[in-house]
Structure 1
């Protein structure tokens, strides 16, 4: 039997060490096209299947395969213990999922057994590092540091722990903050233009009067954040959690908020002209004085 076309959404049944899973060839091939799973279900190979169920058998421990599927579907996995991360890393390496392996390695680089974190660098260390090209602080713990007013443009902070870190007035143009832990950090007046912040945890962070224009905040946790008079024009906020956030006077012109959570959000005086607000519940949102001209409200509850 031939493997399904990778663009197909038809169900694919898997038997991983006795555990049954159902997914699609698209899920198995799109996020990590160089992996063993992508090669198996690329359509180039004939795979042995169970004669009755049609399931493909893989002789591996099936316990953590659900995390692998969630990674391939959403690009994320839940917080795990250090031993569970190590077990999942072995599976990621077996399936040649380099992106997942890199993610786990970065998590393990700062995860401590007792849950406490110690800052690894000083402000002076950071200044020395950013003088070099292609600066990366992936997975590094910089919590509590004062990095205000520094030029940190295009720096890669992905997976880093930057809780209660001061980035006020810093230049963070095109910096990468994918899946960072940045609760209670300050980005006031910072330049976050075109930054990558997908899946970032910015709970109760302060971004007042920051330039967040065209930044990618999809799936980010922005609960309780302060965005007072923040420039969020053309920002990508799909499925972001903005519950309880303060966007008083924020400029969201042309921003994409499809599926965003806005319960209890303050949007007084905000500019939402030409914003994409499909599938958003605005019933408990304060829109006093907000501008909604040209906004796409199809499927929105008001």
Structure 2
């Protein structure tokens, strides 16, 4: 006699937008086009984007990932990651006559230009960001030491020592929590009424859109999974936003194999999203894992439509 087990019904709320943003898409394309143009190996300073699956895939094609320019030979092309680099890095590459391609996201480059413009006007900069994150290091490295002061929290604002409270401007890391940053900006404005901010927050459209989508799905979900890497700032912020928006169980997973099924016992609804550097392939892998265990209904919850595209640098569009 055969026994048939019926699988429990489960609704998956698929947040949209999710996954790759235009800056990540461009950065990956830059490495692939560099390999086509110059052949392997092509060196990449720091992970091109924060996702192990993406990095491993490019490594298999011939990309060599290093942390510092000193690890690169003079005679092979080097690519700077999407997070941006301090000014000293391209200067060192030029001094060695290296071929280099800058894959910095154009929205991060915009923050770099902003910081330089304020510095030229004689303003000291305050950066809202995470200490040690490559984007923060890159942005602070656009100006001489001491010209950019870092604050990570509202508490930091109370203790930051500035040169002249009347001559200040601020910029932000592009992958922060929109809500947390709003509180820090309010604290800066309260302590330094003369401080100048960007016309529009520096937090990028993709970060904002993904956080808004999470706010739409989190309150009606028993659990939420964010597909992304532990070193991905925007992915970790999505977990935090989901928890704050009312989801009792919000977790980061790199792959479907990371899902803690015991923690999900008895659930009826799960929200799924992905950080800006996580490929859709990994989202589909997670959905398939749920389909293998539950009677799944997928419902897409779309809060914005993205049509942003960034061109790759001209050097890659020219023949070798």
Provide TM-score, normalisation by structure 1: 0.29
Structure with a larger share of its residues in strand: 2
- Higher RCO (CA 8 Å, separation ≥ 6 residues): 2
Structure with a larger share of its residues in helix: 2
Provide TM-score, normalisation by structure 2: 0.28
